[in-house]
Structure 1
Amino acid sequence: MLKQTLQQKLLQKLSPQQIQFIKLLQVPTVSLDARIKEELEENPALEDGSLTNMSEPAEEYPDRDPDDTFEMEERATDDEFSVEEYIQEDDFNDYSSSYSGDDEDDRKEIPVAIQDSFYENLRNQLDLLALSDKLYQIGLQIIGSLDDDGYLRRPIHSLIDDLAFSQNVIAEEEDVLEILQVVQEFDPAGVGARDLQECLLIQLRKKDTTNPIIQKAVIVIEKYLEEFIKKHYDKIEKQLGVDSVELREIFGEILKLNPKPGDSGAVAGKQLHVIPDFHISNNDGVLHLTLNGRNAPELRVSRSYQEMFAHYEKAEKNDKKMKDAVQFVKQKLDSAKWFIDAIKQRQQTLLKTMNAIMEYQYDYFLKGDDRLLKPMILKDIAERIEMDISTVSRVANSKYVQTEFGTFLLKSFFSEAIQTDSGEEVSNKEVKKILEECIANEDKRKPLADEKLTDILKEKGYSIARRTVAKYREAMNIPVARLRKEL
């Protein structure tokens, strides 16, 4: 049975403009260039103002006069003219993003050495060997199955199945193990290992095995790896019959090994660039905040599209093709205006948020001392700028600020409050700083346990539980006392 009902619903929906603004807000400066270039390529109604001002031939956009207007209208009424043809011609233009930044922010090309990838390096070594087609395919399968660390995590029987189903190669376990041993001789040393122990042993056996220190290092990895990891030095000394000086030499050889050989060929090719979104300068005790110039690109709506839309609006409305053309051009113009507005709104929100953070942590930005950081949560800044907490979170999680004492992620300035014995509220970063200093100055032969660190903090007026100390220590990637022990 069919029936009609009338209902009222209250819903919250984000407009396309709001969605576009949210996506742009969380994009850091280093990625904004690519995002703008992508939009320029997708929307011909959007132009890079700095490029068009420099590169447009004078005859394409002459001053308006009656003759030019007549010429444009005559071309527009030509039966052979269509919006599709216009866009095809427009696609040949070289759209790229340009930013108007400070002189200090001029982009400089960094030469990057051309080198083979980790996989290509291993394959090149495999190609030098005189192998049958079957063994060569097995070698390729092994190399292709290595993970980013250079380990072979897949079981041998899984490799045999892969070869049978994907390469139509029937291989025995002995064949795979034989080629695996060959691959394990490749550079970088340790590649093709199935676990950490095998990886370290491969590297040690490539050294001078007649050296007594290397021989004992092999014994440590073969028989006492767990004790080595857990730093049970006394037990290893007793089992090997060596003193602390010789044990230190043995451990020194082991610590030179690479536990992740797959990274050795990739790290050199990686370049990590942190482009600050903000700059804070100190002018005689007065802080000055500026936004990176790359966040303010010279974008504009295409004048040719505006003129085209104005002409179509005056044309005959009954023509279906003309209606479609008007709708298409209008859509592109609206999209261009929305994008420009979103970029401007992004600039305003970034400056508003960062200015509130700077004012809140003014003493810290003057001197750069972590102890001057005040407890600050997202809600504190959201209330100051009268925006939602999620907006502040999007800014803080992906933006960097450059100061006179370093470049920092905005998220690092947020911290919870801890109350001292005197009743004063301080940032937990102050406690972390004290913990870091205590651990840095400890006797590495007898490192401080969490209980001892808790007692030290209590003496300084910070009543914190041992589990909280452990949480802060883990947040700073500092291992437990036993693993910090050194000979």
Structure 2
Amino acid sequence: MLKQNLQQKLLQKLSPQQIQFIKLLQVPTVALDTRIKEELEENPALEDISLADMNDPIEEYPDKDPDDDFRGEDSGDDLAEFNVDDYLQDDNLNEYGNRYDSNDDEEEKKELPIAINNTFFENLQAQLDLIPLEDKEYLIAQQIIGSLDDDGYLRRPIPSLIDDLAFSQSVMAEDEEAEEMLKVIQNFDPPGVGARDLQECLLIQLRKKDTSLKTIQIAINIVENYLDEFTKKHYDRLEKSLSLTSEELKEVINEILKLNPKPGDSGVSNLKQMQVIPDFHITKNDGVLTLTLNSKNAPELRVSKSYQEMFQHYEKTSEKDKKLKEAVHFVKQKLDSAKWFIDAIKQRQQTLLKTMNAIMHYQYEYFLSDGDERYLKPMILKDIADKIGMDISTVSRVANSKYVQTEFGTYLLKSFFSEAIQTESGEEVSNKEVKKILEECIGNEDKRKPLADEKLTEILKDKGYNIARRTVAKYREQMGIPVARLRKEL
């Protein structure tokens, strides 16, 4: 049975301006310049003042009150929703740039030299070109090289690789031919390239060493037949199975640990480094901290004066035909978009400064102490959100993607946040203080008998930190420290 209902709902929706601000807020400084250039290319009504002033004669745009020239009549419903004055004012755009750190201007002009290195795949191709091969063999080898991942492994099965050759290059190959070419590539540098798994990668590297040595022979045996015991550090089982002493096993293990489990990384690691540009600078002068915003976060943008004049011209036109209305609507959209973008950039700057200023004052003693974690107070996102009167999600977006440069290093804002731990005396301390103690305990432990989580819990309790074993395990995992068995050394 069909029936109609009338329901009333209260929904909260983000406006396009709010969505634009949120997206800009989480953009790091290193990507903001690119985002602004994209907007300048898409919207001709938006101008970069530094570029516009180079091309525009001053006399063409004399300072004047827009109301002196604008005497337009009512132009209909399409134009009644907005005020032309909103687009004809400069909004004192220069003012918001004066507070920000401008020390980066000279650095921006300097062009740093870029080192040009051959990539991992180019090095393999160069080695392939030196080998005398038939055309078919060369194409198969080339296909194998192109199928390697960034770690240098061939994860793609040989039959699938042969299918790719047949479809893309009309080369009909057999499994044996592909296997033969794979063996050729596995002899290339870096050693271990072209392996299909970790075991094969390590074996390739070991077999390139002097296999007449007993240590290498045992290492090959371990990787070939006892890899699971080796990775799980069951050294007692290895000693028993291979009839080795602790010293002999230690020598063999050290030989295996010298091998590279990811041979492809040696050629691409430099290309994967992420550039970090600090969003803020904190300087200390006579016990007083000063916060500045990186000048890259304060671009000088304005609404295009030519588009403002164009809009004025349309408004003064007495005849309002369809084409003219469409033109006015287009100009209005571009002016709206430019104004929203400038407002979003301003709001981004204000939010960044407001959030970082609150963090700096909350952790004032920590910054004055040059990063001594004993002075780091427990602080969660809600603490800062309450201080600045903003939502927790806004603080999270700033903390997760922004960096601050201090006199003791450059840090992600997220690193200053930590949960509170209560000591036996009732004092609240940062969990980072507990992590620091854990790190010191594990760093000073006897690696032949590493400290289990239960023992670490007892040590912390002796120091006045009443923490459960599962919490200790959680902190250890957050610091990337493996369990006691995997920390064991001979």
TM-score grouping bracket, smaller chain normalisation: 0.7 to 0.9
**1:465 aligned onto 2:464:** no
Partner of 2:358: 356
**8 Å Cα contact 1:113/1:269 also seen in 2:** no
Instruction: For residue 204 of structure 1, report the CA deviation from its aligned partner.
Output: 1.7
Aligned to 1:56: 55
- Indicate the residue corresponding to 1:217 in structure 2: 219
* Code of the aligned partner of 1:231: K
Is the contact made by 1:317 and 1:323 (CA closer than 8 Å) also made in structure 2? no
Q: Secondary structure at the match of 1:307?
A: helix
Instruction: Name the CA distance, whole Å, in 1 between partners of 2:128 and 2:406.
Output: 50
Matched, 1:430 2:429: no
Q: 2:260 — aligned with what? A: 258
Task: Show the counterpart of 2:36.
Answer: 36
- The DSSP-based 3-state class of the residue aligned with 1:266 is helix
The structural deviation recorded for 1:4 is 8.5
**What amino acid is the match of 1:381?**
I
Alignment-mate amino acid for residue 398 of structure 2: V
Alignment of 1:309-458 (within 5 A): 309-367=311-369, 368-458=371-461
Query: 2:86 matched to which residue of 1?
Result: none
Contact 2:101 2:292 in 1 (8 A): no
The separation in 1 between residues aligned to 2:192 and 2:114, in whole angstroms, is: 27
SS at 1:261 equivalent: coil
Q: Distance between the aligned counterparts of 1:469 and 1:7, measured in 2?
A: 52
The root-mean-square deviation of aligned C-alpha atoms, in Å, is 2.6
Spell out, residue by residue over 1:335-364, the C-alpha distance to the aligned partner (whole angstroms, 9 max, x if none). 111111111100111111111111222221
1: CA distance, partners of 2:363 / 2:329: 50
How far the C-alpha of 1:131 sits from its partner, in A, is 2.7
Deviation at 1:181, TM superposition (A): 0.6
Question: 1:2 offset after TM fit, Å?
Answer: 11
Residue pair 1:316, 1:322 contacting (<8 A) in 2 also? no
1:194-230 deviation line (CA, Å, top 9, x unaligned): 1111101111222233344333322332233222222
Please tell me whether residue 16 in structure 1 is matched to residue 32 in structure 2.
no
How far residue 182 of structure 1 moved from its aligned partner, in angstroms, is 1.0
Shift of 1:184: 0.8
Q: Is residue 373–residue 427 contact of structure 1 (8 Å, CA) maintained in 2? A: yes
Matched AA of 1:265: G
Q: How big is the shift at 1:298?
A: 0.9
Structure-2 separation of matches of 1:258 and 1:60: 67
Equivalent residue letter for 1:219: N
The separation in 2 between residues aligned to 1:57 and 1:400, in whole angstroms, is 37
Deviates more, 1:197-206 or 1:140-149: 140-149
Change (3 A) 1:256 1:329: same
Shift of 1:7: 5.3
- Offset from partner CA, 1:89-117 (integer Å, 9 cap, x none): xxxxxxxxx99843256234332222333
Corresponding residue for residue 47 of structure 1: 47
Q: Distance in 1 between matches of 2:114 and 2:60?
A: 40
> What's 2:77 paired with?
none
Counterpart for residue 128 of structure 1: 130
Is the 8 Å Cα contact of residues 278 and 410 (structure 2) preserved in structure 1?
yes
2:71 alignment partner in structure 1: none
Alpha-carbon separation, structure 1, partners of 2:42 and 2:249: 64
| SS at structure 2 position matched to 1:259 | coil
Q: Structure 1 pair 350/62, CA: closer, same or farther in 2 (3 Å)?
A: closer
Distance 1:59 1:34 in 2: 28
Alignment of 1:115-194 (within 5 A): 115-194=117-196
The residue type equivalent to 1:407 in the other structure is T
> Counterpart in 2 of 1:288?
290
1:479 to 470, 477, 482: 482
**1:45–1:305 CA contact under 8 A, matched in 2:** yes
Q: Say which SS state the counterpart of residue 204 (structure 2) adopts.
A: helix
Tell me the distance in 1 between the aligned counterparts of 2:263 and 2:59: 58
Q: Flag structure 1 segments of 5+ consecutive residues without an equivalent.
A: 66-97
Distance, in Å, in 2 between the alignment partners of 1:215 and 1:64 is 86
CA distance in 1, matches of 2:308, 2:273: 42
- Give structure 2 stretches of 5+ with no counterpart: 65-96
Paired with 1:283 and 1:268, the residues of 2 have a C-alpha distance of 37
Residue 93 of structure 1: aligned partner? none
Q: Which moved more, 1:21-30 or 1:3-12?
A: 3-12
Match in the other structure for 2:301: 299
Percent identity over the alignment is 76
Looking at structure 1, the residues matched to 3 and 461 of structure 2 have their Cα atoms a distance apart, in angstroms, of 72
Give the drift of 1:314. 1.0
Residue 294 of structure 1 aligns to a residue whose secondary structure is helix
- The CA deviation at 1:431 is 1.0
Alpha-carbon distance, 1:239 to partner: 4.5
Deviations 1:346-400 (A, max 9, x none): 0111111111111222221221121222222111111111111111111111011
The answer on whether the counterparts of 1:197 and 1:222 sit within 8 Å (CA) in structure 2 is: yes
What is the TM-score normalised by the length of structure 2? 0.86
SS of alignment partner, residue 211 of structure 2: coil
Which amino acid in the other structure matches residue 417 of structure 2? F
Shift of 1:119: 2.6
* 1:236-260 per-position Cα deviation (integer Å, ceiling 9, x unaligned): 3454455444443333322221101
Residue type at the aligned position of 2:184: V
Contact 1:400–1:410, Cα closer than 8 Å, also in 2: yes
Structure 1 residue 146: deviation in Å? 1.6
Distance 1:3 1:211 in 2: 87
